[in-house]
Amino acid sequence: MEKKVVVLPCSGIGKAYGEIGRQAAYQLAEDLRPEEVTTICLARLMIDDPDARGLVRDNFVITVDGCAHDCARKTVESTGKRVDRALRVIDTYKEHRDLKPQGVLELGEPGLKLAHILAERLEEEVDCMMRKEQGYA
């Protein structure tokens, strides 16, 4: 069975960059790469849900964190799985400083644009992993 890519954004309650990470993950899993990408609630790993643990164990994993606390990456790694790629929203923002999100509830046009750029960046990572899976990299 071909591996999937599990994209795990952090919970990021009250943080605009956390919200952007989640929006990017949804865009990737629902619009850009629905066949190859899936996502789950990070909290399921925290409660040792066996299905969630199996999903991250058997597939590629990309984490997307809203700040340097890296909660998503650390949660995955606490299960014994090494993440294949760990992204931080702030790094995408640093490349696009004109796209400052307006707030948590309303990211505004700049925040939504930033989420889309991050989703495209994630898509490149998925391409890279799929090539590896198919033996082309």
Q: Site residues (CB under 6 A) for ligand SF4?
A: 10-12, 15, 18, 65-67, 69-71
- Shortest Cβ 75–ligand SF4 spacing (Å): 9
CB 13 → ligand SF4: shortest distance, Å? 7
Closest CA to 7 of 110, 96, 103, 124: 124
Kindly tell me which of 86 and 129 has the beta carbon lying closer to ligand SF4.
86
Measured from the CB atom, the residue of 70 and 125 that comes closer to ligand SF4 is 70
CA–CA distances in Å: residue 85 to residues 13, 25, 82, 97, 107: 22, 14, 9, 23, 25
Q: Of 10 and 99, which CB lies nearer to ligand SF4 in the complex structure? A: 10
Q: Which residues pair with 43 in a beta bridge?
A: none
State which residue, 83 or 130, has the beta carbon closest to ligand SF4: 83
CB of 86 to ligand SF4, least distance (A): 11
SS3 category, 8: strand
Q: How far is the CB of 43 from ligand SF4 (least distance, A)?
A: 11
Closest CA to 84 of 128, 54, 114: 128
31 Cβ partners below 8 Å, 6+ apart?
119
Instruction: Locate 73 and state its tokens.
Output: 């990456």
